[in-house]
Amino acid sequence: MSEAAKRRSERKLDAVSAAAKRRSERKSAAVSEADQPEGDDSPPQQRGLRGALQILDGPDSVRDTVLQAIGGVRGIVDSSLPTTVFVIALAIGGLRAAVAAALVSGVVLALVRLARRESLQQTVTGLVGVALAALVAVKLHSSAAFFLPGILLDVLYAGLAVASVLARRPFIGYIAAVVEPRLSAWRSLPKVRRAAALASLIWAAMFAARAGVQGSLYLAHRTGLLATAKLAMGWPLWGIAVGSSYVLLRRALAALPAPIAPPVQEAPSTLPS
């Protein structure tokens, strides 16, 4: 074989090798395209919702989501302390002493957070709730009335949650979109919308259960049991509702169809016929 023929043969082999390499690279890109937001040919709202899965991954994500929503162990303690102090002080010194003790405990919690330069949002909200409950209890001259504002709020929240589902505007969808902006297109996908509706009904059931049990104890003037029910049906049920909502939305997002990769074009053969 002449030298020129050898060079032509080598060039043809190099061309074949380069074409095979390009085909391999295109196939790899097509496989990975479904997992990458860039280059995704699916509708924009699906790309955004799949991107939101990044915040929902990990074996401890449900636990972390619930703890974050309730403010961690510190949030549980802060929310439970005024009620616990109220019941103890009520048994020792009567209604006025109990109201004063609950208010003082709320102020102390706020001062501790302030001294530690921590967020006061949950503490201030709790302090306002305690002050309102104390005012109602004093005005109605009833220790059980300390829990009345919370019962009425549960009734209101249950009604609003059911109304949002009936109006096909489940409130959990809007809350999720505020927490994670990439969920802003949730209403455009039926599976995600149904998951938000089911999650909203879970919250409605939680609020209704709290209102029903505590309302019955309030009407029976069972202050001690009422306080126990408020603590037992507080953060535990709240955590269950948050975790259930998380799981439902996570599954709905995971069920979104993957983007369709473009067909791989085979490079024309350069082998001699």
Q: According to the model, what pLDDT value does residue 260 have? A: 43
217 within a domain of the structure (yes/no): yes
Question: Residue 153: which pLDDT band, with cuts at 50, 70 and 90?
Answer: very high
204 within a domain of the structure (yes/no): yes
202 within a domain of the structure (yes/no): yes
Over the stretch 97-138, which tens digit does the pLDDT of each residue have?
Answer: 888 888 888 888 888 888 888 776 667 777 788 888 888 988
Q: Which domain holds residue 168?
A: 54-254
Q: According to the model, what pLDDT value does residue 74 have? A: 64
41 within a domain of the structure (yes/no): no
**Domains identified in the chain, total number:** 1
- The 3-class secondary structure across the chain, one letter per residue, is CCHHHHHHHHHHHHHHHHHHHHHHHHHHHHHHHCCCCCCCCCCHHHHHHHHHHHHHCCCCHHHHHHHHHCCHHHHHHHHHHHHHHHHHHHHHHCHHHHHHHHHHHHHHHHHHHHHCCCCCHHHHHHHHHHHHHHHHHHHHCCCHHHHHHHHHHHHHHHHHHHHHHHCCCCHHHHHHHHHCHHHCCHHHCHHHHHHHHHHHHHHHHHHHHHHHHHHHHHHCCCHHHHHHHHHHCCHHHHHHHHHHHHHHHHHHHHCCCCCCCCCCCCCCCCCCC
77 within a domain of the structure (yes/no): yes
Q: According to the model, what pLDDT value does residue 197 have? A: 95
Residue percentage of the chain with pLDDT more than 90: 23
67 within a domain of the structure (yes/no): yes
30 within a domain of the structure (yes/no): no
Average pLDDT of the segment spanning 146-163:
95
Over the stretch 215-261, which tens digit does the pLDDT of each residue have?
Answer: 999 999 888 899 889 888 888 898 899 889 988 988 888 876 654 44
